[in-house]
Amino acid sequence: MNSEVQSGNRDYVATIDLGSNSFHMLIAVEGEEGGIRIVDRVREMIRLGAGLQSDRTLSEESQERAFRCLGRFRERLSAIPPHRVSAVGTNTLRVARNSREFLARAEEILGHPISVISGHEEARLVYLGAAFGLAVSNRKRLVIDIGGGSTEIIAGQGYRPLQLDSLYIGCVSMTRRFFDDGKITKDRMETAGQFVRRELETIVSKYRQLGWDEVVGTSGTIRAIDKLSRNLGIKKDWISHEGIDAIRNWMLQNQKSEALGLVSEQRRPVFVGGFTILSEFLAEFGITGIEVSDGALREGVAYDLIDRLHDEDARFSAVRELANFFGSDSHQAGRIGRLAQSLLNQVQQSWGLDEDIHHKLILWAAQLHEIGIGISYAHHHLHGAYIIENSDMDGFSRQAQRMLALIVGNSRQKLRFDDIDWLPLQSAEKIKRLTVILRLAITFFRGRSDVTLDETILQARDNSLTVIMNAQWSQSRPLTVYDLQTEKDYLAQAGFNLEFEYR
């Protein structure tokens, strides 16, 4: 173990990338000017994507490989505070039908939560990692990252992505589809190339309209292609058409994946699939050369984690942008958010809602609970939940978006938690409790006017709540008291007992 990490320095951060092909762990320390200094890297070829069976479940063998790896990762993480560790899962965990069961066991072994991120979020983080890994520049960049199960393509300028796409083609999935028995022929490569071209044709025009000054490749596949090109005598500091042609001819001569001796033994079984994606990318986008960057997803996760530690959480910007896009009433959202936070503070210990994510979820839900009105007032909470769950929201994992959608979708009328069984029982209970707090805050401010509620107290024990209010204030607002009584009935149907006291 690296001695710096072993010392337990609290400035270190760790990121874990559970990719479809490899699992990566990166440990770094914050730099003086916003960068990171990497002190340890660990990579293990797990081929989780290759373990996807015909019914889209992960095989027992692939899961065991993953669990053994995560157990080894855990040892390295023991000296780093939990809030400075971030673990993410990508395409294979997005599509596996038994992903929930796998994640429950994986989190137990790793000792940290694992967020499954969307393709959009993966692309954003890849760009962030690539941009920080290159020289400071305001030039327009086109970035490609070929993973095991998906390929991310991003156009950006400086550190800001402008266009992001995630395609369901990767080195593992392409190899399994077209070269499963390891045989490499001209006809197979042409068929695979046609498949990639069909995937790329839907996005090429918008990237050409944006334009770019330089093209950057990340990921192990692209670094392996760059190294092989040099080994075949193409002495250039970038991946060129000349190098691609040399590699293609060399593979056709060798005829089988297992005979690709110049490629590392671990990379060899999936190399041809990744190569096909990159060669078609160059041709379809009209690219003459690709520069290789060491920065990729795990570095992007590290930069994003550091931003959150310094209160520069991209998720707040994403929520604000979504609320503005749908014309949400910011004043009403602010009133409800402040009261919801106050009520949450009063019951966070008794209800086990004292984690940072609980306070953020209640604020985000307050900001977004009315975005569905832009579609229709009727059932606007359900419209809002659909928007949240299906939008590309920077910084959010898929789980966090679904939790936020659950809260908003149950923010008025009858509570429906039929689709909450994807969450662990304890987490599901906390989401229900956060929803109750938001509903109470909304009820108090249904009149959409500024009122003082400093004396309002909320007490909770198990699923029983007591709201203590100023008696004189309550007498002057009979409609609010009526709404609270109606809310009591709604909560009773969901198993919560709400009582009122007046002082």
What digits encode the pLDDT tens for the residues 7-31? 445 589 999 999 998 999 999 998 7
- pLDDT at position 32 is 64
Q: What percent of the chain clears pLDDT 90, i.e. is strictly above it?
A: 75
CA-only gyration radius of the chain, Å: 26
Q: What is the pLDDT of residues 117-153, one digit of tens each?
A: 999 999 999 999 888 877 667 789 999 999 999 999 9
Higher pLDDT: 246 or 307? It is 246
- State how far the Cα of 257 lies from the Cα of 265, in Å rounded to an integer: 10
163 phi and psi angles, rounded to 5 deg: -145, 130
71 phi and psi angles, rounded to 5 deg: -65, -40
Q: What is the pLDDT of residues 351-410, one digit of tens each?
A: 999 888 999 999 999 999 999 998 999 999 999 999 999 998 999 998 999 999 999 999
* Residue 386 CA to its chain's centroid (Å): 18
Percent helix, strand and coil across the chain, each rounded to 5?
A: 50, 20, 30
Q: Which of 2-11, 186-195, 492-501 has the lowest mean pLDDT?
A: 2-11
Q: For residue 116, what are the β-bridge partners?
A: 89
DSSP class of residue 50? G
Alpha helices per DSSP H over 86-219: 91-95, 99-110, 119-132, 171-178, 186-200, 204-210
- State how far the Cα of 269 lies from the Cα of 356, in Å rounded to an integer: 43
Q: What is the pLDDT of residues 234-245, one digit of tens each?
A: 888 889 999 999
- State how far the Cα of 224 lies from the Cα of 120, in Å rounded to an integer: 25
Q: What is the pLDDT of residues 267-303, one digit of tens each?
A: 999 999 999 999 999 999 999 999 998 888 999 999 9
- Please give the biggest Cα pair distance in the chain: 89
DSSP class of residue 88? E
Q: For residue 495, what are the β-bridge partners?
A: none
Q: What pTM did the predictor assign? A: 0.82
Task: Yes or no: say if 432 and 405 are a contact pair by the CB < 8 Å rule.
Answer: no
Tell me the domains of the chain and their CATH numbers.
3-117 (3.30.420.40), 134-293 (3.30.420.150), 313-450 (1.10.3210.10)
Q: How confident is the model at residue 1 (pLDDT cuts 50, 70, 90)?
A: very low
Task: Yes or no: say if 409 and 416 are a contact pair by the CB < 8 Å rule.
Answer: yes
Q: Which of 224, 267, 219, 220 is nearest to 243 (CA)?
A: 224
Residue with tokens 């209640």: 362
Mean pLDDT of the chain: 91
Q: What percent of the chain clears pLDDT 70, i.e. is strictly above it?
A: 97
DSSP string, 399-431: HHHHHHHHHHHTSSSS---TT-TTS-HHHHHHH
Q: For residue 23, what are the β-bridge partners?
A: 18, 44
The burial class, CB within 10 Å (0-12 / 13-18 / 19+), for 253 is exposed
Amino acid letter at 20?
S
Task: Yes or no: say if 5 and 76 are a contact pair by the CB < 8 Å rule.
Answer: yes
431 token code pair: 């989401």
- State how far the Cα of 223 lies from the Cα of 291, in Å rounded to an integer: 10
Q: For residue 240, what are the β-bridge partners?
A: 289
Decide if pLDDT at 68 tops 90: yes
